[in-house]
Amino acid sequence: MRTIDTLGDLAGKKVFVRSDFNVPLDENRNITDDGRIRAALPTLKRLLDAGARVVVSAHLGRPKGQVKPEFSLAPVAARLSELLGVDVPLAADTVGPDAHAKVDALGNGQIVLLENVRFDKREDSKVDAEREELAKEYAGLADVFVSDGFGVVHRKQASVYDVAKLVPSAAGELVFKEIDSLSRATKNPERPYTVVLGGSKVSDKLGVIENLLDKADRLLIGGGMAYTFLLAEGHEVGTSLREDDQVATAAEYLKKAKENGVKLLIPVDTVVAPKFAADAPSTVVASSAIPADQMGLDIGPKTAKAYADAIADSKTIVWNGPMGVFEFDAFSAGTRAIAQAMQDAEGFTIVGGGDSAAAVRNLGFDESKFSHISTGGGASLEFLEGKVLPGIAVLED
């Protein structure tokens, strides 16, 4: 994979950077988690220090090809200015007159942020020619391209894939670190190799589970997806989240894990409540005895300890998906226990982006205590699944 080093002297060159600034905002459009912006800083600082003229592109939300003020990157430009300690002006458009004017005005070591690339419907069009047309306009703003938005490299999009074919291109520091770290979990991982999977649905992680049943030593299942596995074992799950159409698949995974000698663990106890609410009264019950009028909202303490023990004994650990509704204090203990165990583990620890990364930050853990926290939930899952990521493949010689 080509790196920034392969691009030569960048002083005075216009470097088109694709970042991932799809950050969460509150009702007042304040950024509630700036992790993805901070993750972009090493690449941006390196380019600015090299005297490049940095043109940053990114998306926010799903405006679906329409200009919608609520999806403007204005809050990102403000936060990026604070973190970099330099003014980061925001162009009023992506490839229009204001973008060209602001790019043309750049001096060496200066930076501009283009407006949301998804305001242009060609950005993520399924029609190759439409994306390629937009990519040519991006290329008109650039001498070289640096891909640094790991959260989008699993997509064929104009600012991720197509532009990389038109100008000299390379992976930024973030993308290189992501691939290097995730490769440690897919290419001859140190063993025992443990994967913790949570989140709401089995269907979201079918390919990952299928792939890991031939690679991991242990699979620890939590979150809403656990209840489909409990159904597959013949247990009732009350009003818990469930995917009836995936029960047979879960049963097959349980069978295959046993045949392959993989320890596939599902919760032995569960924190239940009568409704999905922060103030709902909680009770711990055996996972085989969930009341008909209750729903599971977290793994129980016995399960949390068993999972923590498995993590402590592992050399490589990957975690993707919370163990429960961590946003509610009463149902955050399971997710907190996993995060704590990973922070304390001596093995190589990877937090697979998305809600897991948000949980680490929101629950107050020190990010530096983890070997790697991914910025791309979907991209990291597809990498673990063994899929080819278009935005990475296009950077390979």
Check the annotation: does 53 bind a ligand: no
Q: Which 3 state secondary structure label does DSSP give 303?
A: helix
Residue 68 labeled ligand binder: no
What is the 8-class DSSP label of residue 162?
I
Q: Catalytic one among 315, 378, 386, 387? A: 378
> Is 36 a known active-site residue?
yes
Chain length of the chain: 397
Q: Is 172 an annotated catalytic residue?
A: no
154 labeled binding residue: no
Tell me if 172 is assigned to a ligand binding site: no
Is 229 a known ligand-binding residue? no
Q: Which of 354, 376, 377, 391 is catalytic?
A: 354
Is position 20 annotated in a ligand binding site? yes
Say if residue 44 carries a ligand binding annotation: no
CA atoms within 13 Å, Cβ hemisphere of 252: 9
Q: Which of 2, 13, 18, 36 is catalytic?
A: 36
Q: How far apart are CA 159 and CA 163, in angstroms?
A: 6
Tokens read off for 195 = 């994967």
Gap between the Cα atoms of 151 and 155, Å rounded: 9
Helices (H), ranges, 185-300: 206-212, 226-232, 247-260
Spatial separation of the C-alpha atoms in residues 183 and 179, rounded to whole Å? 6
- The question of whether 391 is a catalytic residue gets the answer no
Which residue has tokens 């897991």? 356
Q: Which of 201, 302, 305, 387 is catalytic?
A: 201
Any known ligand binding at 353? yes
How wide is the angle at C-alpha 169 spanned by C-alphas 2 and 129, nearest 5°? 130
CA distances from 234 to 92, 237, 284 (A): 57, 10, 20
Answer yes or no: is 205 a known binding residue.
Answer: yes
The closest of 97, 73, 160 to 123, measured between CA atoms, is 160
- Residue 38 among known ligand-binding residues: no
Is residue 21 marked as binding? yes
Q: Per the annotation, does 155 bind a ligand?
A: yes
Q: Does residue 53 carry a catalytic annotation? A: no
User: 391: annotated binding-site residue?
Assistant: no
- Lookup: tokens for 359: 């949980």
SS3 145: strand
Which residues are annotated as part of the binding site for ATP? 205, 296, 327, 353-356
Q: Which residues are catalytic?
A: 36, 201, 354, 378
Which residues are annotated as part of the binding site for (2R)-3-phosphoglycerate? 36, 118, 155
Which residues are annotated as part of the binding site for substrate? 20-22, 36, 59-62, 118, 155
Which residues are annotated as part of the binding site? 20-22, 36, 59-62, 118, 155, 205, 296, 327, 353-356
